[in-house]
Amino acid sequence: MARWSGILNVTLHLGSAYYRVAASMLLSPSCKSFAVPSGNAIFFLGDRVEGTNNPVIERLSDPQTIVEIMVSKFGKSFNVYVIEASIFNGPFAVYKDFIPSVNEHGEPTSYDATAFPVSTSLVLLLSRFLKEAKSIISGEENAQYVAEASASFSYKPVVTLLGFSKGGTVLNQLLTEFSLKEIQPKSSSIEGNRSSGSANERLVLGEDDMIMPTSKESLFDSINEIHYVDVGLNTKGAYLTDEDTINRIVKSLSGRAFGIRFMFHGTPRQWCDVRRPWIRKEKDTLVRLLSKASQSSNINKLRLCERSYFPGKLPDLQQHFEVIEALDIS
């Protein structure tokens, strides 16, 4: 099946800094609309690394290259989105819209679900990306658009989340919000518009929801995998370690149709860094608490997997990026 690939600059609000989003999406046979995927893989990038003169690092820092790699791993029935932070302080990625507590270096001081900032912002960002992408492939700003579902898929696509390096902090914030999703207020910005507006507007919203989540509720309900990809920070907070939050995450799985698989991918660059021993300790704590909560609750909807890459090698920056290509998601 044909695909559309591109990089768009998308803002959440008028006058706000833009997010650079690279994507590869399934096209219908007519190539004038998007087809419904089996899943959406959403990959959050970390800090920028420039001027290394290392061709491997330069290639694996390119968002479009990462998109192509992820398509090769998840399969051609998946749509893939690679998201950069909207703000950079020098090389430091600052996900301020997603994690309000971040400092000037993009390091979170806490993870707080108040107002559900990342889930609300993410569905808005993806919806605006889709709107711009549809206008590009249809060739007209206001062209009538109809999503085409594949006969193979009769359900909403699953969502697989990947956080690379500092991008793992976005996963932590999303999971914090996921843990409190039962007490969240209902979406009003996108999903709530289904009950108002013209019939054509409501139809478009319904079609969009077949392609990607258009509310934080549908986002939470669609998550099937969480991948921490060589996550690390120069301060503590690279992984969730709050036991109450983790217990709520596991408990919330009981009413779902399917569970969530957590995968932890690491290299010596992060897991064996003697200058930042807290990274490995935080990862081990999260794995232990997830396992403990799952066993004590008798909920068999959580799976854990750890994969170590380049064992025995000394830590270096190149392996930190090479893990993207070496990623084993099986």
- pLDDT (tens digit per residue) in 77-96: 999 999 999 999 999 999 99
Least confident of 49-58, 191-200, 267-276, 302-311: 191-200
Q: The pTM is what? A: 0.91
Amino acid identity of residue 175, one-letter, is: L
**Cβ(67)–Cβ(23) under 8 Å?**
yes
Residue 205 confidence (pLDDT) above 60: no
Strand 87-89 to 78-83 pairing: unpaired
- Per the model's pLDDT, the better-predicted residue between 276 and 31 turns out to be 276
pLDDT at 255: 80
Query: In the predicted model, is pLDDT for residue 207 greater than 70?
Result: yes
- Structure tokens belonging to residue 267: 């290299």
Name the helix (H) or strand (E) containing 200. helix 199-211
Ramachandran region, residue 265 (left: φ > 0; alpha: ψ -120 to 50; beta: rest): beta
Beta-carbon count within 10 A of 277 CB:
11
pLDDT in tens, 209-254: 889 999 999 999 999 999 999 999 999 999 999 999 999 999 989 8
Q: Which has more pLDDT, 160 or 29?
A: 160
- What is the per-residue pLDDT across 82-141, written as a single tens digit (0 to 9) for each? 999 999 999 999 999 999 999 999 999 999 999 999 999 999 999 999 999 999 998 754
C-alpha to C-alpha distances, 83 to 63, 86, 134, 163, 246, nearest whole angstrom:
8, 9, 18, 10, 25
Residue 198 pLDDT > 70: no
Q: CA–CA separation, 205 vs 11, rounded Å?
A: 19
- Predicted local distance difference test score (pLDDT) of residue 149: 52
8 Å CB contact between 208 and 200: no
